[in-house]
Amino acid sequence: MDDPVLLTGAGGRVGRAILSGISGEYDWRLLDREPVSADALPAGVSEDDTVVADVTDEWQVREAVRDVGAVVHLAGDPRPNAPWDSVLRNNIDGTHAVFDAAAAAGVDRVVFASSNHAVGAYETDERTPDLYRTNDDYRLDGSELPRPSNLYGVSKAAGETLGRYFHDEYGLSVACVRIGNLTEDHPPREYERGQAMWLSHRDCAHLFGRCLEAEYDYEVVYGISNNDRRYYSLERAREVLGYDPQDNSADYTFEGEPKDAA
Ligand X SMILES: O=C1O[C@H](COP(=O)(O)O)[C@@H](O)[C@H](O)[C@H]1O
Ligand Y SMILES: NC(=O)C1=CN([C@@H]2O[C@H](COP(=O)(O)OP(=O)(O)OC[C@H]3O[C@@H](n4cnc5c(N)ncnc54)[C@H](O)[C@@H]3O)[C@@H](O)[C@H]2O)C=CC1
Positions marked active-site:
152
Residue nearest to ligand Y (CB): 12
Tell whether 259 is in a known binding site.
no
Which residue of 49, 87, 103, 115 would you call a contact of ligand Y, by CB under 6 A? 115
Tell whether 115 is in a known binding site.
yes
Nearest to ligand Y of 90, 248 (CB atom): 90
Q: How far is the CB of 77 from ligand Y (least distance, A)?
A: 6
Q: Check residue 179 for interaction with ligand Y (CB under 6 A).
A: yes
What's the per-residue H, E or C state across the chain? Answer: CCCCEEEECCCCHHHHHHHHHHHHHCCEEEEECCCCCHHHCCCCCCHHHEEECCCCCHHHHHHHHCCCCEEEECCCCCCCCCCHHHHHHHHHHHHHHHHHHHHHHCCCEEEEEEEHHHCHHHCCCCCCCHHHCCCCCCCECCCCCCCCCCHHHHHHHHHHHHHHHHHHHHCCEEEEEEECEECCCCCCCCCHHHHHCEECHHHHHHHHHHHHHCCCCEEEEEECCCCCCCCECCHHHHHHHCCCCCCCHHHECCCCCEHHHC
Q: Check residue 174 for interaction with ligand Y (CB under 6 A).
A: no
Q: How far is the CB of 197 from ligand X (least distance, A)?
A: 7
Q: Which does 80 bind (CB under 5 to 8 A by kind): ligand Y, ligand X, none?
A: ligand X
Which residue of 5, 18, 28, 32 would you call a contact of ligand Y, by CB under 6 A? 32
- Spacing of C-alpha 83 from chain mean position: 20
Q: Check residue 202 for interaction with ligand Y (CB under 6 A).
A: no
Q: Check residue 55 for interaction with ligand Y (CB under 6 A).
A: yes
Which residue of 21, 76, 245, 256 would you call a contact of ligand Y, by CB under 6 A? 76
Residues in binding site for NAD(+): 90, 115, 152, 156
Residues in binding site: 90, 115, 152, 156
Name the residues that contact ligand Y, by CB under 6 A: 9, 11-15, 32-34, 54-56, 74-76, 78, 90, 94, 113, 115-116, 179, 181-182
